């Protein structure tokens, strides 16, 4: 086997409108039935699905079938495999007729694979579906019917979680969270990437930051909200995807590492909002391997009013942290931020203001000793 295997297939629905045969006698979606929906429209938006893959051959066939059996006239499947050593290539060859582009070679991980797929995608609408997840029946039909890309940038539908196979559904109707303000939305970190489809031009503008191994979806979603707000996000009540939980998935096997990646996103947000060093240092405490982290400035296109909940929350946490550490200069700096962004003037807040603005620093230091 060569270090890199590659095959590009130029296909369209009109050429390959037949469905792949299910030879393993499995039942149910996506084995023995199609979506049952069809858009007979040559102007249907082209939907590009990028599938990053590495040694998930046991699940990849279902992923591919769930796309092909959409019975949709204008789609492309792009598989970016990291040089799998299992049966992945066997599955790809089996379904090559329906795959627009695939490559199998060593890469820098999932984020890099998605970027490689983005570079060759030609659709009007783009999403990535991991090689162990599934597109739900009729998803492309619903996207084409509801997602007006002249009016909206992002289309968010429902996703059901399942354990190992669809017979074991877990969480139902998960969808990308949107709260009253962008600040509240960022704090909630209510994510659902599989059922979030972007207009291609917006996705390309945002790109994927390869620094994120676990939360590239959080990063791109938060960057979009900070740049454009939520006015061009369309929420749908249609089921679009299924998210698989299994013992080797990142969510299950490496779930403890997601928090550190999220802290990097939070740091970038505070940096982009020009917050003081004391607050940045507070956020940075929980970033693993800080020496390898390269902070990035995000584009901010929303008002400070829409983000104040986020800033105030972390500033107030930092006040208490620095007080306990005896770092009163940093506590005062963060208290100023919390007050500026609307921390309620209750008894606790008044005590902090008195402590840091009316009591001399040397008294605080001596009291601490």
What pLDDT shows up at residue 166?
87
Domains present along the chain, CATH in parentheses: 4-253 (3.90.550.10), 307-369 (no CATH)
Structure tokens at 313: 């929350």
CA 218 – CA 228 distance, rounded (Å):
15
Model pLDDT, residue 367: 40
User: Coil, strand or helix: which one is 321?
Assistant: helix
Q: pLDDT tens digits for 271-303?
A: 999 999 999 999 999 898 888 999 999 999 999
Bigger pLDDT: 37 or 52?
A: 52
Residues 6+ apart with CB under 8 A from 38: 71, 72, 73, 141
Beta strands in the chain (DSSP E): 4-8, 47-53, 75-81, 101-105, 125-128, 134-135, 154-163, 196-199, 233-245
**Residue 363 CA: distances (Å) to CA of 180, 331, 355, 367:** 42, 15, 10, 6
d(CA 271, CA 290): 15
- Is the pLDDT reported for residue 339 higher than 70? yes
Tokens 């060759």 label which residue? Answer: 120
Q: What's the chain's Rg over C-alpha atoms?
A: 24
pLDDT tier, 254 (very low <50, low <70, confident <90, very high otherwise):
low
- Residue 337: name the closest of 307, 301, 365, 294 by CA: 307
Q: Which residue has the higher pLDDT, 42 or 43?
A: 43
Q: Which residue has the higher pLDDT, 120 or 10?
A: 120
pLDDT higher than 90, residue 8: no
SS3 352: helix
30 cis-preceded (ω within 30 degrees of 0): yes
**364 band by pLDDT with thresholds 50, 70 and 90:** very low
What is the pLDDT confidence band of residue 16, given thresholds at 50, 70 and 90? very low
| pLDDT tier for residue 14 given thresholds of 50, 70 and 90 | very low
Q: Contact at 8 Å (CB) between 234 and 186? A: no
- Report pLDDT for 171: 87
pTM as predicted: 0.90
Q: In which band, very low, low, confident or very high, does the pLDDT at 167 lie, cut at 50, 70 and 90?
A: confident
CA distances from 122 to 30, 50, 78, 80, 198 (A): 25, 11, 10, 15, 13
For residue 366, pLDDT over 50 is answered with no
């Amino acid at each position: 086997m060569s270090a890199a295997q590659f095959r590009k297939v130029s296909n369209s629905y009109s050429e390959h409108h037949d469905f792949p045969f299910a030879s393993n006698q499995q039942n149910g979606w996506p084995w023995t039935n199609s979506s049952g929906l069809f858009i007979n429209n040559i102007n249907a938006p082209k939907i590009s699905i990028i599938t990053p893959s590495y040694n998930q051959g046991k699940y990849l066939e279902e992923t591919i079938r769930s796309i092909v059996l959409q019975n949709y006239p204008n789609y492309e499947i792009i598989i970016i495999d990291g040089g799998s050593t299992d049966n992945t290539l066997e599955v790809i060859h089996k379904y090559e007729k329906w795959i627009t582009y695939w490559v199998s070679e060593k890469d820098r991980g999932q984020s890099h694979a998605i970027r490689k797929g983005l570079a060759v995608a030609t659709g009007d609408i783009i999403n990535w579906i991991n090689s162990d997840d599934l597109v739900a029946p009729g998803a492309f039909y619903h996207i084409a019917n509801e997602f007006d890309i002249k009016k909206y940038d992002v289309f968010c539908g429902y996703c059901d979680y399942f354990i190992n196979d669809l017979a074991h559904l877990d969480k139902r109707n998960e969808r990308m969270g949107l709260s009253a303000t962008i600040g509240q939305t960022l704090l909630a970190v209510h994510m659902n990437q599989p059922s979030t489809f972007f207009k291609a031009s917006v996705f390309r503008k945002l790109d994927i930051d390869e620094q994120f191994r676990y939360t590239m979806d959080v990063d791109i979603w938060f960057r979009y909200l900070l740049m454009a707000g939520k006015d061009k996000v369309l929420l749908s009540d249609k089921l679009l995807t299924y998210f698989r939980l299994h013992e080797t998935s990142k969510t299950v096997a490496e779930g403890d590492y997601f928090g550190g990646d999220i802290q990097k996103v939070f740091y970038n947000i505070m940096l982009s909002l020009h917050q003081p060093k004391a607050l940045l240092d507070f956020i940075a405490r929980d970033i693993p391997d800080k020496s390898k982290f390269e902070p990035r400035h995000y584009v901010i296109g929303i008002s400070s009013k829409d983000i104040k909940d986020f800033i105030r929350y972390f500033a107030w946490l930092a006040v208490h942290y620095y007080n306990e550490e005896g770092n009163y200069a940093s506590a005062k700096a963060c208290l100023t931020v919390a007050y500026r962004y609307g921390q309620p003037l209750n008894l606790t807040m008044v005590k902090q203001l008195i402590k840091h603005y009316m009591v001399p620093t040397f008294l605080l230091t001596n009291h601490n000793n």
